[in-house]
Amino acid sequence: MSQQTEIQEDDFRPSAARLVESLRDTGYSREAAFADIIDNAIAANSTKILIELQYMYGEFRVIMTDNGDGMSEGELRNAMRYGSEKRANPKSLGKFGMGLKTASTAFCRRLVVLTQKNGVQSGRAWDIDRIIKTDRWELETPNTNDYYDDYEELSDFTDNSGTMIIWENTDHLIKQGSERQVRQQINSLGKELQAELSAIFCKYLASGEVSIAMKVGDTPTTELKGWDPICADLITADGVRSRVLKEKTVPVEFDGKTASFSVKGSIIPSQNELNSEEREFVRYSLDNQGFYIYREGRLIWHDGWPHRMYKKESKITRLRVELHFDHELDDVFSIDFRKSRVIIPVDIREELKRLVAPWRQELLKGQERLVSANTNRAHGPADKAIDKHKKYTKNADIKVDGDKVTIRNENQPQPTLIEGVRIYEDKTVRVHEEDSLLGDDLWEPSCDEEGNTCVTLGKSHPYFHKMYNVCKDNIEAMKALDMLLWSLANAEHGEYSEANRHTLKGYRQKVSQTLRYLSIELPDAEENE
């Protein structure tokens, strides 16, 4: 038997120095780390939370203070232990016993926790550099004098009980640079955090259960307002609302039990129906479409369509879907300790696709390439006449790039996006028919793939049937009506701008509404059969 160093088989503790560095690389995003600390505060019955991004004397610190239950000495030691004791409440957002430590040390090398319970203060700290130097899990008791101002601030904020989390030596939050560059990074971080946390804790903020405030450097403290991704309460300046789609409940069977989650959707107004402030409010972006998944009212995932259920595309930018589940389904959705990952089982994924498909198709069908069947119909003479004079009648530069349509004209010198415009493949047709148009209008401007203006007629409008019935035996009268309606569409493209798009749309709706009443005076189709 060869000589070997004897292994102590009753002591396989990992090296503290190596493990503590490894635990810093657990994949936390900045927003998820801050959210994890807030989770703990809410779990401790906090109603008021303050986040400070503090830059003083060349040092950047993050301070998060809450007015929750606070901790005794024993409770604090347990909270500082990696894998702390399980919380009694299974609904708790801070349920894994890892978040405080891993979320903090992912971005700082020194974590200080000061707490107060029933007026009694205590503090502990993990210092990564000290752990590496000693290769021991030595929990530090910070010098009270070094944190005198922080203890005072904690007392003022909480009255009697609460907790303060301090991140020092923050090496992974911002990059080194000049003082100006550092302050710019801190301001940017503050804006990103406000946007993300207002979405993550929207339900709590909206209900008034919790208030979250943020102070960035020397700027005034800002109260966060909850941001609802489906924008259910949105009413634009023109009175347009989001269309909230019916909520549906989905049962799930697991481990001999049955629970359920809920799904509801929203189609937010199109970009053309929103002014710049409203677009900013709804966060109109390709990246903000798709699922928003909540656990116990807390947003844990939003990155489009999970498991590549669908690809992100401009056609469905307006579709947002909320999925809500409670703690009973944690294992079903494979929630990890960061609460930022979701794995949806295949059978549930298929059910979600079935539920979402009609909402998605509704947006897709109006913007797909459309093949016209008009060529051999009565609109043919008008198509040829309009095309013959296109050199002289063109008053807008329309570009079609995939499913994106942009327009330039005298009123709109810079290209601007037109959303929802129909695009037709056939470049020889100028007058198209559809079963119905949005708002049951008589006509709307459209285009072909080359950017030529077209007009689309809504067959459901009563004037459509009656006017073409009156003129059905007169080719020249038909051509004249087609020319008139195409000219209205062409004029709208020529006058279109960001500023007047709502006016033009309103004009079209008013004309269509008036013709609806006037068409009563025209004979019905069967009278002339």
Q: What is the CATH number of domain 243-365?
A: 3.30.230
Each residue's pLDDT tens digit, 359-400 = 888 787 644 444 444 434 578 889 999 999 998 999 999 999
User: How is domain 16-223 classified at the CATH fold level?
Assistant: Heat Shock Protein 90 (3.30.565)
Which of 135-144, 269-278, 344-353 bottoms out in mean pLDDT, i.e. has the lowest?
269-278
Each residue's pLDDT tens digit, 440-471 = 789 999 999 999 999 999 887 888 878 877 78
- For the chain, the residue count is 529
Cβ-count burial 261-271 (b if 16+ within 10 Å, e if not)? bebbbbbbbbb
Domain 16-223 shares a fold with domain 243-365: no
Alpha carbon distances (Å) from 68 to 40, 201, 300: 9, 17, 22
Which of 87-101, 193-207, 489-503 bottoms out in mean pLDDT, i.e. has the lowest?
87-101
CB of 497 within 8 A of CB of 411? yes
Residue for token digits 């703690």?
Answer: 327
Please give the order of strands across the beta sheet that includes 319-325.
243-254, 257-267, 319-325, 290-295, 298-301
Determine the Cα–Cα distance for residues 61 and 25; give it in Å rounded to an integer.
Answer: 20
The enclosing H or E element of 324 equals: strand 319-325
Q: Which residues pair with 220 in a beta bridge?
A: none
Ramachandran bin of 255, using left for φ above 0, alpha for ψ from -120 to 50, beta for the remaining angles: left
Nearest CA among 445, 477, 441, 446 for reference residue 459: 441
**Structure tokens, 59:** 């040092």
Each residue's pLDDT tens digit, 279-325 = 899 999 888 999 999 999 999 999 899 888 888 887 888 999 999 99
Which of 1-15, 53-67, 303-317, 499-513 bottoms out in mean pLDDT, i.e. has the lowest?
1-15
Cβ-based neighbour number of residue 5 at 10 Å: 5
Cα dihedral 89→91→93→94 (10° resolution): 30
Q: Where are the beta strands (DSSP E) in 193-305?
A: 211-216, 222-223, 243-254, 257-267, 290-295, 298-301
Residue 235, C-beta contacts closer than 8 angstroms, at least 6 positions apart: 241
CB of 390 within 8 A of CB of 452? yes
Query: Does residue 472 register a pLDDT over 80?
Result: no
Show me where the domains of the chain are located. 16-223, 243-365, 369-528
Each residue's pLDDT tens digit, 88-98 = 565 655 555 46
Cβ-based neighbour number of residue 223 at 10 Å: 10
CB of 293 within 8 A of CB of 342? yes
| 42-56, 237-251, 472-486: range with highest mean pLDDT | 42-56
Q: How confident is the model at residue 524 (pLDDT cuts 50, 70, 90)?
A: low
Return the pLDDT at 208.
93
Q: How confident is the model at residue 204 (pLDDT cuts 50, 70, 90)?
A: very high
Cβ-based neighbour number of residue 344 at 10 Å: 20
The 3-state secondary structure of 379-412 reads: CHHHHHHHHHCHHHHCCCEEEEECCEEEEECCCC
Averaged pLDDT of the chain: 87
Return the pLDDT at 337.
61
Query: Does residue 197 register a pLDDT over 70?
Result: yes
Residue for token digits 């949005």?
Answer: 438
Q: How far apart are the first and last CA of the chain?
A: 110
Q: Where are the beta strands (DSSP E) in 337-379?
A: 369-370
Each residue's pLDDT tens digit, 319-355 = 999 999 998 998 898 876 666 677 899 889 889 988 8
Determine the Cα–Cα distance for residues 85 and 69; give it in Å rounded to an integer.
Answer: 17
Nearest CA among 310, 324, 291 for reference residue 361: 310
Burial (CB count within 10 angstroms: exposed 0-12, middle 13-18, buried 19+), residue 311: exposed
Return the pLDDT at 382.
92
Whole-prediction pTM:
0.67
| 105-109, 455-459, 518-522: range with highest mean pLDDT | 105-109
Q: What percent of the chain has pLDDT over 70?
A: 90
CB of 171 within 8 A of CB of 30? no
Cα–Cα–Cα angle for 370, 372, 375, nearest 5°?
160
Q: How confident is the model at residue 23 (pLDDT cuts 50, 70, 90)?
A: confident
Determine the Cα–Cα distance for residues 134 and 339; give it in Å rounded to an integer.
Answer: 32
DSSP output for 476-522: HHHHHHHHHHHHHHHHHHHH--TTTHHHHHHHHHHHHHHHHHHGGGS
Residue 44, C-beta contacts closer than 8 angstroms, at least 6 positions apart: 66, 68, 69, 70, 94, 163
Q: Which residues pair with 49 in a beta bridge?
A: 66, 212
Determine the Cα–Cα distance for residues 15 and 216; give it in Å rounded to an integer.
Answer: 38
Beta strands 243-254 and 319-325 are: unpaired
Beta strands 243-254 and 257-267 are: antiparallel
